[in-house]
Every structure is written in C-alpha cells, then in structure tokens.
Amino acid sequence: MLCFPDCKINLGLFITQRREDGYHDIETLFYPLPLTDVLEIVPAKETKLHMSGLPVIGSAADNLVVKAHNLLIELYQERIPKLDIYLHKVIPMGAGLGGGSADGAFMLKLINDYCHLGLLPNELIALALQLGSDCPFFINNSPAFAMGRGEHLKQVALNLAAFSIQLICPSVHVSTREAFGMISPHPAPCNLEELAGLPIQEWKQLMSNDFETPVFKLHPALAEIKQQLYDQGAIYASMSGSGSALYGIFPKGKKALVETSLNFSEHYME
C-alpha cells in the first residue's frame, strides 16, 4: 500500500509562551502543499525501514515512520504483520516544512487502513501528538488555525489555488530546538484565524513569523532570498516554521528568479 506524505507551510507563526512541560505554545496557520515524500508498506518476514532520496539525519529507530509503527504495535500487536517500509524522501529535513511529521502521521493512517484498525480521525490525532507537535495537522491535512503545541486545530476556509506558490529550500539545516531557544515568547499581535479571511494583499503588513528575526541573523542569505521574492512580485513571502525554507505567493503564473550563494532546491506550484 502506497501513500504520499505532503508538506506544509506556516502562514504567520507566533510563539506565545513557554510551557512548564518544556514545549512552547504557538499560534499559526498551517497550509498543505503538494510537495511529497513517498511511503509504501508491503508484507515481509521482518520489519525493516528502507530509505532513498534525500539524506535523513539520525538512526532508523529515531525516524517518525518507525516510531509510528512501534506505537501501533504496542496497541495492536496481533493485528499488524511484519512489514517492509519504503520511504523515499523528497521533502528536505530542517526546512520548516514538516516532512518528518507528515511521514509519521501518514504512517499511522497507512497502517490504520492496511490493517483495518478502524481508528477514527480524533483517535489518530491523539496518537500523532505522541510523535510530534506538527503531526496532528497531517491527519486531516487541510488548512487549519493551530494553537497550543500545534495540536489544537480549527479548520479554516482558505484556498490559494488562484495563486502560484514558489518554494525555495536552501541547503541550510535549522534545528527546531535551537530556533526555539532564540525566541522570546510574547502574546500574538493579531488574530491569524481572522487574517485568513482577509485579501492576501493585506497579509504583508499584518502577518509575520517570529523565527525570522533570529534565524535571519544567523543566516543573512535567507533574508536576501525573501527580499528577492518580494522585489520580483510576491504578494506575500515568508520563512516557513523555523526555517530554512522560504516561499512566495505570486499572481498566477508568476515567479522569481532567485540568486544566492547557497545551494537550494526550488519547487513551483501553479
């Protein structure tokens, strides 16, 4: 059985407070994009993860696909067979696109369907939160306003199909943990849920990503890429998550010609 875990971008991102459990509360708009990994499971004599595509830092045991599998094994061991797990990575790590989180969430859904576990979306969301803060979003995988660690989700009527989105993924790995350590939490300066209903032309003056200031200080070339997106016609441009990916939302059929000393991959969605 095969599926295609996609990525997300953050439309605005505010870090509102540090929690007693060590996590942070956030407010953001998650929006899915059709840049996907490929995930497949087939019956096997022994369960094993097979990786291809872009490199992934860390051991197989730390991969969220494996953790999702192990989480379901704990609950439904007798119903889940041995599996060969094939993961082809297209979404880069350390880019703020939630690729690893998507892989983990889609693995939960994939095994749920393959093994006929009958888990409902709210049950899958609860399991996904055990894997990571971004994982619950990828269960329903539709535009949402997120609060808390990212698990409190409210679907929003937001459709960017009338625009083109240019995604730039520089070869800069930003550690989410380190990025949070550079942030001073503060109350959200605006209501992102309400901003989702405003014309995109108004977002630039109202919407921002708290991670941009510290990450741009460490990597000035990222700020230059964002400015190039605006200079060449983006209606709204931002870094996604804790970076380093940046995106520009353009009038349909338009894009920027980005020049930078950084190696980068580019994805264009009309």
Beta bridge partners of 32: 8
Note the pTM of the prediction, 2 decimals.
0.94
On whether both 140 and 201 belong to a single domain, the answer is: no
Exposed, middle or buried: residue 131 (CB in 10 Å: 0-12, 13-18, 19+)?
buried
Q: Of 202, 204, 206, which is closest to residue 188 (Cα–Cα)?
A: 206
Beta bridge partners of 140: none
Instruction: Given the residues 134, 210, 226, 255, select the one marked as catalytic.
Output: 134
Block residue for tokens 């083109």: 164
Q: What does the pLDDT look like over 16-52, one tens digit per residue? A: 999 888 788 999 999 999 999 999 999 999 999 999 9
**Pairing of the two strands 83-89 and 48-53:** parallel
On whether both 22 and 79 belong to a single domain, the answer is: yes
| Dist CA 146 CA 67 (whole Å) | 23
Domain residues for the domain of 211 are 163-269
On whether both 48 and 130 belong to a single domain, the answer is: yes
**What was the pLDDT predicted at 192?**
94
**What was the pLDDT predicted at 151?**
87
On whether both 20 and 116 belong to a single domain, the answer is: yes
Q: What's 217's domain CATH number?
A: 3.30.70.890
On whether both 31 and 149 belong to a single domain, the answer is: yes
**Which residue, 137, 155, 173, sits at the end of a domain?**
155
On whether both 85 and 200 belong to a single domain, the answer is: no
The Cβ of residue 62 has, within 10 Å, a number of other Cβ atoms equal to: 11
Q: Is 48 a catalytic residue?
A: no
| Dist CA 220 CA 204 (whole Å) | 20
Q: What's 104's domain CATH number?
A: 3.30.230.10
Q: Which ranges in the chain belong to alpha helices (H)?
A: 64-76, 99-114, 121-131, 137-140, 176-181, 192-195, 203-206, 212-218, 220-231
Instruction: Given the residues 8, 67, 89, 226, select the one marked as catalytic.
Output: 8
Q: Of 34, 102, 36, 38, which is closest to residue 270 (Cα–Cα)?
A: 34
DSSP 151-188: TEEEE-----TTEEEEEEEES----HHHHHHT------
**What was the pLDDT predicted at 130?**
96
**What was the pLDDT predicted at 113?**
97
**What was the pLDDT predicted at 116?**
97
**What was the pLDDT predicted at 174?**
78
Low-confidence ranges of the chain (pLDDT < 50): none
Q: Is 134 a catalytic residue?
A: yes
| Dist CA 240 CA 161 (whole Å) | 19
Domains identified in the chain, total number: 2
Helices then strands, each counted (H, E), the chain: 9, 12
| Dist CA 181 CA 247 (whole Å) | 24
**What was the pLDDT predicted at 25?**
93
SS3 letters across 65-104: HHHHHHHHHHHHHHHCCCEEEEEEECCCCCCCCCHHHHHH
**What was the pLDDT predicted at 128?**
97
